[in-house]
């Protein structure tokens, strides 16, 4: 079984393009400083790389 990554929303997607906003919502992030746990797969890693200015990977 693969590990998990914790993703935290550190920037507001309010003034971002709609595509970036949908990536944040797709990860399940709705509020600032919210942390979600997702499988450590290339799919979720790629989503994090799309909006690195809005997210942080919590160790």
User: What percent of the chain shows pLDDT beyond 70?
Assistant: 97
CA 7 to chain CA mean position, Å: 5
**Range of the structural domain that residue 49 is part of:** 4-58
pLDDT of residue 59: 80
pLDDT digits 0-9 by tens, 1-59 = 569 999 999 999 999 999 999 999 999 999 999 999 999 999 999 999 999 999 999 98
10 Å CB burial of residue 37 (0-12, 13-18, 19+) is exposed
Beta carbons of 47 and 5 less than 8 angstroms apart: no
The CATH number of residue 44's host domain is 3.30.1390.20
Task: Give me the number of domains the chain comprises.
Answer: 1
């Amino acid at each position: 079984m693969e590990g998990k990554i914790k993703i935290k929303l550190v920037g507001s997607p309010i003034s971002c393009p709609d595509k970036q906003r949908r990536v944040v919502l797709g990860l399940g992030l709705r509020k600032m400083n919210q942390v979600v746990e997702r499988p450590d797969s290339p799919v979720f890693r790629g989503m994090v790389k799309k909006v690195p200015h809005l997210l942080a990977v919590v160790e």
